[in-house]
Chains A and B, each alone.
Chain A
Amino acid sequence: MKVSKRVATLATMGVVGLGVAAASSSANTVHGTAAASSLKGQTINVAIAYPAPKAMLAKFTAQTGIKVNWDYVQWDNLQTKIASAAEAHSYFADVADVDWSKVGEYYATKWFLPLQSYFPIASVKSAYPQATSFIRDNELVGMPMDGSLLVTTVNEKDFKAAGIKSNPTTLTQYESDLKAVQAKGIVKSPLDIPFAAAEGLSTYWYEMTAAFGGQVLSSTYAPEFTSPSSPGYKAMAWMVAAYKSGLVPKANLEDQDYQALEADQAHNLTASVFSDYSGDVGTIYNVASESKVVGDVDYIPTPGASGVGYNLGNPDGIGIPTEAKHVPAAVAFIKWMEEPANQGAFAGADGPKDVIQTFPLPSNRGGLADLVKSGKVPGAATLESLLENHARAIFPAGAPPWYSQFSNAVYTNIHAAAAGSETVAAAIKSIASTVKGLDN
């Protein structure tokens, strides 16, 4: 019969497809031997928004006997999984991502186990430059997993071609330099801001606000951006004006941060990212297969309203969900992740084989020192000095529990202001009223 022949063809295709798939996925499991301990033979599930450093994980398993099933989950998808698992009181992973922005939320919801009994707060504070982002009321919600801050990058070649002799140190100078690059026709729209309604736009505004010498929310989470003379207001007006005047590529209204960095800066469609991610020079701009600007882009101290501005921290953390099944093994794993030598290796101190792709900087001072000493990562010394001397938390009292709603209001309104569907004043007013509705 015709039907059965066709169905048979289909079934054969399915089997062939399955065969191919099975062959390519067999390399994932990590086997280890040795190390006599009670944790030996346990398997922990780790859900993190970074790709796995496979060679390093094999060493961990060899040392401890703990097998690691490391799932690299895209950041937004991961947040959905954490929330739905917690709402259903369900086990989902032994170790998961604790983003700086989620610390307030997890402190309020108790979705993650406090870690201070395993990692004493005093020693965490002294060893980790960005520790405060993860501590709330003497509770350690997560351990800092990387060191990360918002930094300014410029394409030095473009700036030189425009006749700019030294890097800008103030915002006024920065703006006039960008205009010079534009006027000389070196880059049509030199400034990269990702204006899509997404998290990257919110953090850009926080960094811009810091450069103008202020912060968006006070230590009691009151809006500090409502007055037209406030840094937050000025920062937003500056960003929107930069877009409308053509300093920022028109297409950026749809660009999320990764797209903007990838498509624009790496292809020299722009010459500067004011609020870039620490690590992008090494992991994107200097990678020949991804970039047309290898060797041209450098980190510079962020230009501020008067002199060098602050760099806000946006570190990723790592924690243990309340429903975790293998807590001691999870603690052993986090301790291993935090070893300074390993942190240095993840960031590139031991060469490409142990690197976690897109990993910005080591989380602790030991790892940072290793990385700088190795000399293998461009700009590492600059970044370390920025981290130690110019870094600040985005919120002085830590991320509020309602951060997600706040950020949603921020990015939708700035996006709308850039698109021209509302004024900057209206955007400010709308964000402020969202805060008012949340903070009670």
Chain B
Amino acid sequence: MSALRRRAERAKTGRSQAIRRGRGETALPYAMVAPLLVFIGALALYPTVLTAYGAFVHNDALDPPNHFTGFGNFQSVFSNSQVRQSFENTGLYVVFGVLLSVGLGIFFGLLLQRRFRGRGIVLALMVLPWALPGVVEGVIWSWIYDPTFGVLNSTLKSAHVISTYQLWVGTHQIESIFFISLVQVWQITPLAAILVLASLQAIPSELYEAANVDGATTWQQIKRITLPLIRPGLAIAVVEGLVMSLNIFDQVYVLNAGATTASSLMSETYQIAFGNLNFGQGYALSLLATVTTIALSLLAVKLIYRRVEF
């Protein structure tokens, strides 16, 4: 039942569960992990090392030959105003992505906390957006946002929310980022909701019963019991949202074209490598993204280890 509690117990027992091995099986564990390690080594770690190295090499297809340049690539990208704009935009993607996905995730999680008829189906339907490809989502939302034929415009206009059709993406920085971010939020909210739900189900029902006896209102219960106790799940949801929004690409590629208005770190990296053909600077930006992502993930690990103790 309680996934988190189960894991907490597991963490305590941990390695002591390792089973004894018969004689002549010393090589077995290595044989079992070797294929996995070869794959990850050859196609994940080695390419990352190449990227890290490439970040310090001048590699511009239009200005050969390649040579070591120290932090030259980093200086170039930091002095590029389009790159700086993409940093700012990415910050906004992260803020929108995390706040909205976690906020909606809590809302959906609370809705599904108690059993009711058809809950299984509602849960399945809620998960659907998470399972769809980002490009597909970009395409179907761009039709919804369409400035001439889009259903968002026609609906809001007939409801008298807007007086004329709006351009949701492309005009203003914050508005554009918000609407592109919304497409990603649509995709990652189910993840947050599931994590919140798992934490909710780990809360012992006696706590609510005791609160009821004390005459606490529903809102008081949410504030005093629910929210504090789902913090472990929330922390993970925040990290997932953070990593996803920091690396947003597919939705931007489909919805934003080449405008700097809503460019993201990843779409700018793509432009620099494949548009400008400056692969060195592309590697430098990729390395920055990698380091930022790892730093944030480590931060997350720390957060979670402290919080799982409840």
Contacts and interface: CB of A to CB of B under 8 A. Distances in A.
Q: Do A and B come from one complex?
A: yes
Interface of A: 79-80, 83-84, 86-87, 105, 108-109, 111, 196-198, 249-251, 253-256, 263, 269, 401-402, 404-405, 408, 411-412, 415-416, 419-421
B147 A250 contact: yes
B170 A415 contact: yes
B167 A87 contact: no
Contacts of B259: 196-197, 412, 415-416
B62 A108 contact: yes
A401 B271 CA distance: 16
Contact of B61 (A109, A251, A253, A263): A109
A202 B27 CA distance: 63
A401 B261 contact: no
9 contacts: A196-B170, A196-B257, A197-B260, A198-B258, A254-B169, A269-B148, A416-B261, A419-B172, A421-B261
B279 interface: yes
B147 A198 contact: no
Given A253-B167, A405-B275, A421-B172, 8 more contacts: A197-B170, A197-B256, A250-B165, A251-B148, A411-B258, A412-B259, A419-B170, A419-B261
B45 to A, nearest CB: 19
Nearest to B253: A76
A249 B277 contact: no
B292 interface: no
Give chain A's interface secondary structure class: helix
Contacts of A256: 257
A251 B165 contact: yes
A412 B82 contact: yes
Nearest to A420: B171
The 6 closest A-B pairs by CB, nearest first: A251-B147, A197-B259, A197-B258, A254-B170, A251-B148, A198-B257
Contacts of A421: 172-173, 261
Given A105-B277, A254-B147, A402 B172 contact: no
A419 B257 CA distance: 15
Given A196-B257, A197-B258, A263-B148, A404 B276 contact: yes
Nearest to B63: A108
Interface in B162-199: 164-165, 167, 169-173
A109 B62 CA distance: 6
A249 to B, nearest CB: 7
A253 B275 CA distance: 22
B296 to A, nearest CB: 29
A249 B148 contact: yes
A16 B164 CA distance: 47
A83 B148 CA distance: 35
Interface in B15-60: none
B254 to A, nearest CB: 12
Contacts of B258: 197-198, 408, 411-412
Contacts of B260: 197, 412, 416
A109 B74 CA distance: 23
A111 B61 CA distance: 10
Nearest to B256: A197
B167 A251 contact: yes
A86 B277 CA distance: 10
B157 to A, nearest CB: 13
Nearest to A111: B61
A198 B261 CA distance: 13
Contact of B62 (A80, A105, A255, A419): A105
Nearest to B279: A87
Contacts of B173: 421
B103 to A, nearest CB: 28
A346 to B, nearest CB: 29
B170 A253 contact: yes
B274 interface: yes
Contacts of A83: 61, 273-274, 277
Among A83, A84, A251, A420, find the residue whose CB has the most chain B CB atoms closer than 10 A. Answer: A251
B148 A408 contact: no
A214 to B, nearest CB: 25
A79 B277 CA distance: 11
Interface string B151-168: 000000000000011010
A251 to B, nearest CB: 3
Interface in B247-299: 256-261, 271, 273-277, 279
A170 B229 CA distance: 73
Nearest to B171: A419
B120 to A, nearest CB: 14
Nearest to A202: B258
Contact of A86 (B61, B82, B169, B170): B61
A415 B176 CA distance: 14
Nearest to A255: B147
B271 A408 contact: yes
Given A109-B61, A250-B167, A411-B258, A404 B172 contact: no
A402 B170 CA distance: 26
Nearest to B270: A80
Contacts of A80: 274
Contacts of B277: 83, 87, 105, 109, 404
A361 B149 CA distance: 32
Contact of B275 (A197, A263, A404): A404
A405 B80 CA distance: 12
A269 B149 CA distance: 12
B268 to A, nearest CB: 11
A254 B271 CA distance: 19
Contacts of B82: 412
B63 to A, nearest CB: 8
A104 to B, nearest CB: 9
A108 B65 CA distance: 12
B62 A253 contact: no
A84 B261 contact: no
Nearest to B150: A251
Nearest to A108: B62
Contacts of B256: 197
Contacts of A79: 274
B156 to A, nearest CB: 15
A412 to B, nearest CB: 5
B23 to A, nearest CB: 36
A253 B273 CA distance: 26
A79 B273 CA distance: 12
Contacts of B257: 196-198, 254, 256
Contacts of A108: 61-62
